[in-house]
Chain A
Amino acid sequence: MEQKNIPPKNISPKYISKASLKAWLAKVKDDGRHIYAPVTENGKTNFKRVKSVDEISMAHIQTAQSAKGAVFPRTEKLFSYARQQGDVALQDYNPGDIPDTVVFGLHPCDAAAFKALSGIFNWGAQDKPFSERMQRVTLVGVSCSRSDVFCFCTSVGGHPGSAEGSDILLTAIGDDGYLVEIITDRGQALVEKSADLFEAAAGISKEEHLASAPARFSVEEVQRKMAGSFESDIWKKQSARCIGCGACAFVCPACACFDIQENAKGNGTGDRIRCWDSCGFSLFTLHTSGHNPRSVQSQRWRQRLLHKLCYMPDRLSVRGCTGCGRCSRACPVDMNLAEHLKEFERL
């Protein structure tokens, strides 16, 4: 079922020129696949379904939002219902509506996050909408040639040129083309669409073309300290300025909290909807009784970090943070995550 874990095939890397890359993507698109790729509008770059491959822009360091919407849309219909003469007719989730999709241009931190999402959505029971989408998505990553002050992938086990999670990984070699690493069968299938556009890439090393991103802390040490700090006052200190919005969770490539809502149409029909939520909201844990087990922001901040850095590695063998830095860029009050994690190292 889970095809992402296919070990790297022994295929030697290839090279594709910029012009051929466009031609390849155009072919992929003309074959009926949806392509989600970074598009810049009004100075902001985000993943968007492209109508033409000319819309794609790779000038950014990081898109505002991650690519997780390709498999975990912000709003998704789970099923529909219609009341009929004392009975209810259900129309189950229809995977037939899911298009074959290629996510192009995501960075290694985003590609790696799909493993974290898979861990959450397939813990115990397999989540149908998520799994169905995962089976239809091919991830074409692009290594990072630049980083900024918020990036910290190398501190949480990632790398600007890491192939983990990608089906194909491209690395820009100068301005003219890309080194192409084919990681999975799914990636290979996509390359075979236009095999003639890919050239041999003997002797090209990608290392010198990658962003420099020195590790800022030892994540093992942070995890060890954090696991023993449940009662520490560090949570309160760090979260004092947090205003409790959900920006960090919503831009995070690995956050998977959701809410279930009812879109009742008032005529006996309606849809059950899943939409993004955040463990940083007080409403997330508010019980019907009025009791809230996480009644203050420091408890919610603690949950957020422990879940990503301790609970997920313990239970799902994958971290809930890939160091993309989006939470820190998006935060209205500069809750810089790498800075906060580093503080645990010193506890």
Chain B
Amino acid sequence: MNELRSKVKELLGSKEIDLFVGYEQGTRLPRPLIAASAEEADRLIFDESCTGNLAVYLTRRELTGGKKTGIAASYYAMRSISRLLDENQLREGMVKVFGLTPDGGLTLLESIADVKQRLQETSAPSSQVEDEWVKEIEDMPPAERWKFWTSELSKCFKCYACRAACPMCYCTKCIVEVNRPQWIQPWAATMSNVEWQINRVMHMAGRCADCGACGAACPLGLPVHIIAHKMVEMVRQNFGEPTEKGNVLSTFKPNDEENFIW
């Protein structure tokens, strides 16, 4: 904790970074803290309870645009950072990534190559809960499964917290706000809510870090991250892991199998 605070103060003082995106103690859980001064840096905390994906702030231009930014990155934030770089949303040298070592120590990853290396060496946190959800839902007969999702998504009021919390949802104009033509009806109603979630997750194919921030952000506790989790698994099975050369949505190969279209 003290190591991070003093390191951040040092980097802010030497102007190596303009901002640090980290965590502070919140009302009940750790919450994001955007520190630009030594005084603010003194509120920083960073331990295994800090799980929110802070990479979401790296594409917020009004906050971090053109600024050298340090970030306290959870495993999934590192995954997002790696993919944001692959999608040319981050510039090498503009981001300094701090991670936690397995024993809780602090580690500074100077380059994105270091981040990618780190991701290869570290295994993802357990997704047992999400896997069980998927299994439970898949075990339902189709009619019951449809009832489950339409019942859950009928509650959605389209506050778009799922979109706002997602580091990969950085479009300045989202498909749900395009009105010529209007692809998705913008008011809250069961079918248009289902359309919204399907579209949101489809646009994440091969890009989603599977961090669960969308579901964690939902003020109604709807399990929208489970749709993303299932999608990640389907994409992995059909197309393999994403690479820096592009993801399943942004690349085309003549020999792509089409056996998933039915």
- B-contacting residues of A (Cβ < 8 Å)? 42-44, 46, 64-65, 74-75, 149-150, 240-241, 243-247, 249-251, 259, 261, 263, 273, 275-276, 278, 281, 283, 296-297, 328-334, 336, 339
- CB-CB under 8 A from A240, the residues of chain B are 34, 63
Counting contact residues on chain B (CB < 8 A from A), the size range is 35 or more
B8 within 8 A of A: no
Decide if A275 touches B188 in the complex (CB within 8 Å). yes
Decide if B159 touches A296 in the complex (CB within 8 Å). no
Among A42, A65, A149, A247, contact of B217 (Cβ-Cβ < 8 Å) = A247
Decide if A74 touches B157 in the complex (CB within 8 Å). yes
Decide if B217 touches A263 in the complex (CB within 8 Å). no
In the complex formed, the residue of B with least CB distance to A69 is: B157
Given the known inter-chain contacts A275-B188, A276-B188, A283-B177, please indicate yes or no for A332 contacting B29, CB distance below 8 A. Answer: no
Give the CA-CA distance A261 to B159 in the complex, in Å: 16
B105 within 8 A of A: no
B164 within 8 A of A: yes
Given the known inter-chain contacts A44-B221, A247-B217, A339-B27, please indicate yes or no for A333 contacting B186, CB distance below 8 A. Answer: no
Give the CA-CA distance A12 to B139 in the complex, in Å: 57
Min Cβ gap B17→A in Å is: 15
- CB-CB under 8 A from B60, the residues of chain A are 243
Among A43, A273, A296, A334, contact of B31 (Cβ-Cβ < 8 Å) = A334
Min Cβ gap A49→B in Å is: 13
Give the CA-CA distance A329 to B158 in the complex, in Å: 17
Decide if B28 touches A249 in the complex (CB within 8 Å). no
Decide if A250 touches B159 in the complex (CB within 8 Å). yes
Decide if A336 touches B186 in the complex (CB within 8 Å). no
Min Cβ gap A325→B in Å is: 10
- CB-CB under 8 A from B31, the residues of chain A are 241, 333-334
Counting residue pairs across A and B whose Cβ atoms lie within 8 Å, the total is 98
Among B28, B164, B188, contact of A243 (Cβ-Cβ < 8 Å) = B164
Given the known inter-chain contacts A44-B220, A241-B33, please indicate yes or no for A246 contacting B161, CB distance below 8 A. Answer: yes
B116-146 vs A, CB cutoff 8 Å, 1 = contact: the mask equals 0000000000000000000000000000000
Among B34, B56, B187, B213, contact of A261 (Cβ-Cβ < 8 Å) = B187
In the complex formed, the residue of A with least CB distance to B173 is: A283
New A-B pairs, 11, CB < 8 Å, besides A75-B189, A332-B164, A336-B26: A43-B221, A46-B220, A65-B220, A149-B27, A241-B32, A241-B34, A261-B185, A281-B160, A329-B219, A332-B219, A333-B52
B244 within 8 A of A: no
In the complex formed, the residue of A with least CB distance to B214 is: A332
Decide if B186 touches A261 in the complex (CB within 8 Å). yes
Min Cβ gap A323→B in Å is: 15
Decide if B164 touches A244 in the complex (CB within 8 Å). yes
B62 within 8 A of A: yes
Decide if B159 touches A278 in the complex (CB within 8 Å). yes
- CB-CB under 8 A from A333, the residues of chain B are 31-32, 52
Among A64, A150, A246, A297, contact of B221 (Cβ-Cβ < 8 Å) = A64
- CB-CB under 8 A from A328, the residues of chain B are 27
Given the known inter-chain contacts A261-B187, A276-B188, please indicate yes or no for A334 contacting B27, CB distance below 8 A. Answer: yes
Q: What are 10 A-B pairs at a CB distance below 8 A? A: A149-B27, A150-B27, A241-B31, A245-B161, A247-B159, A261-B187, A275-B158, A275-B188, A332-B216, A334-B31
Give the CA-CA distance A46 to B261 in the complex, in Å: 39
B207 within 8 A of A: no
Min Cβ gap A293→B in Å is: 15
State the 8 A-B residue pairs at the shortest beta-carbon distance, nearest first: A330-B219, A245-B164, A332-B217, A275-B187, A334-B31, A246-B159, A245-B161, A334-B26
- CB-CB under 8 A from B163, the residues of chain A are 245
Give the CA-CA distance A246 to B157 in the complex, in Å: 9
B196-222 vs A, CB cutoff 8 Å, 1 = contact: the mask equals 000000000000000001001101110
In the complex formed, the residue of B with least CB distance to A240 is: B34
Min Cβ gap A312→B in Å is: 22
- CB-CB under 8 A from B185, the residues of chain A are 261, 263
Residue of B31, B164, B188 with most partner-chain A CB within 10 A: B164
Give the CA-CA distance A150 to B28 in the complex, in Å: 10
- CB-CB under 8 A from B63, the residues of chain A are 240
- CB-CB under 8 A from B147, the residues of chain A are none
Decide if A297 touches B33 in the complex (CB within 8 Å). no
B67 within 8 A of A: no
Residue of A244, A250, A281 with most partner-chain B CB within 10 A: A250
Decide if B32 touches A74 in the complex (CB within 8 Å). no
Decide if B189 touches A246 in the complex (CB within 8 Å). no
